[in-house]
Amino acid sequence: MAEILEVVDLERLRKEVREKYREVAGDPTAEYHFHTGRAHAIRLGYPLAPLDQLPDYACEAFAGVGNPFYWGGPKPGERVVDLGSGAGMDSFLAALWVGNEGKVIGVDMTPEMLDRSRSMAARLGLDNVEFREGLIEELPVEDGWADVVISNGVINLCPDKIGVYRQIYRVLRPGGRMTVADICLERPVPEEALRDIDLWTG
Amino acid sequence: MIGGAGLVDVELANPLDTFAGARGEESAREFGTLGYSIRARRST
């Protein structure tokens, strides 16, 4: 992992990722290198309930790569952290699952996504979800707070993946669980490709 | 890597051809990129 951190220009990568997701926040129905929206979530196997409780405007900027709820959603009353919460769809689903006794914290580094997710939460009347600005390598969540950590398609954008997993360990309570979705590569990535920021973001 | 962070009972499941039909399909195919569901837990 240290090798990747030596190869990648971290600040440039974060800047490019912010720029990409700023575009998605502003124009979620445009064509990107990944799929977006409710139909994509259904294709990935998201459970129709409670997805069917969310209006289209809360789903259109969804840009996940898999199904973090493959083993089921959070339980009523649980506390959930969503890493790279983006436009907020997964956080909203988690908020519906945990109910008023539970709490969801979404963390994202893109201001436009935070504006969008906070605005959506207000429109949906979800008082049990909060969005915080931050890096998932430095989660702004206290130690042992979470019963569940979720994420979708974000950890792959961080060169320091073990640092992210150490943060997940830190914020989970003993016995807590991580259920995330992300991409895995079947073939090794050559160093020149690791240096190519465009490949990281699309 | 996940185990190296202290998490246990790591499981990968549900591989999906997540970029099929999207603009990123070609580079995804080049590296054999699939979307997975991944779970693990912090021991008690």
> Where do the domains of chain B lie?
3-42
Residues 6 or more apart whose CB falls under 8 angstroms from that of A108 comprise A84, A85, A86, A114, A117, A131, A133, A134
Q: Tell me, what's the pLDDT at B8?
A: 98
Backbone angles phi, psi at A98, to 5 degrees: -80, -25
Average pLDDT value for chain B: 93
Which CATH number characterizes residue A99's domain?
3.40.50.150
Identify which of A68, A162, A175 has the shortest CB distance to residue B5.
A162
DSSP reduced 3-state for A171: helix
**What is the overall mean pLDDT for chain A?**
93
- For residue A185, CA distances in Å to A7, A108, A124 come to 18, 24, 37
Average pLDDT of the segment spanning A66-70: 98
Q: How confident is the model at residue A85 (pLDDT cuts 50, 70, 90)?
A: very high
pLDDT at A67 over 50: yes
Band (pLDDT 50/70/90 cuts) for residue A1 is very low
Q: What percent of chain A has pLDDT over 90?
A: 81
pLDDT band at A189 (very low <50, low <70, confident <90, very high): confident
Chain A interface includes B23 (CB < 8 A): yes
| CB-CB under 8 Å, B36 with A183 | yes
Task: Give per-residue pLDDT as tens, A41-66.
Answer: 999 999 999 999 999 999 999 999 99
Parent domain of A77: 2-201
Instruction: Answer yes or no: is pLDDT of A195 > 50.
Output: yes
Put simply, the answer to whether B16 touches A45 (Cβ < 8 Å) is yes
B29 touches chain A (CB under 8 A): no
Mean pLDDT of A163-169: 97
- Chain B CA closest to residue A66: B35
B7-21 pLDDT, tens per residue? 999 999 999 999 999
Q: What is the rounded average pLDDT of the residues A73-86? A: 98
The interface pTM score, or ipTM, of the predicted complex is 0.94
Residues B20, A201: Cα–Cα separation, whole Å: 17
Taking the CA atoms of A74, A78, A83 and A87 in sequence, report the sign of the dihedral they define: positive
Looking at the complex, report in whole angstroms how far the Cα of residue A141 sits from the nearest Cα belonging to chain B. Answer: 16
Under the banding of pLDDT at 50, 70 and 90, the label for residue A36 is very high
Is A190's pLDDT higher than 80? no
Tell me if A20 sits within 8 A of A87, measured CB to CB: no
A184 and B44: CB-CB below 8 Å? no
Which residue, A71, A200, A202, is CA-closest to B36?
Answer: A71
Domain count along chain A: 1
Residue range A138-152, pLDDT digits in tens = 999 999 999 999 999
B16 forms beta bridges with: B35
pLDDT per position as a tens digit, A96-139? 999 999 999 999 999 999 999 999 999 999 999 999 999 999 99
